[in-house]
Amino acid sequence: MSKVGILGIGSYLPDRILTNFDMEKMLDTSDEWIRTRTGIRERRFANDNEVTSDLAAKAALKALEDANLKPEDIDLIIVGTNSPDKLFYPATACIVQDKIGARNAAAFDLQAGCTGWIYATTVAVQFVQSGMYKNVLSIGAEVITRMMDKEDRYTYVLFGDGAGAAVVGKTDNGGFLGFELFADGSLSKYLEIPGGGTALPFSKEVLDKKLHYTTMNGKEVFKFSVREISRASNIILKKAGLTIDDIDWFIPHQANLRIIEAGVGRLGIPMDKVVITIDKFGNSSAASIPVSLNEIYQKGKIEKGDKILMVSFGAGMTSGAMLLEWSK
Catalytic residue numbers read: 114, 253, 283
- Closest by CA position to 102, among listed 59, 128, 70, 125: 70
3-class DSSP assignment, residue 278: helix
d(C-alpha 313, C-alpha 325), whole Å: 22
- Closest by CA position to 80, among listed 316, 327, 326, 325: 316
Q: Which helix (H) or strand (E) holds 75?
A: none
Q: Which helix (H) or strand (E) holds 163?
A: strand 162-170
325 strand-pairing partners: 175, 307
d(C-alpha 128, C-alpha 135), whole Å: 7
Distances (CA, A) of 236 to 223, 245, 268, 309, 321: 20, 14, 15, 9, 7
181-213 core/surface letters (b: 16 or more CB in 10 A; e: else):
bbbeeebeebbbbbbbeeeeeeeeeeeeeebbb
d(C-alpha 259, C-alpha 255), whole Å: 7
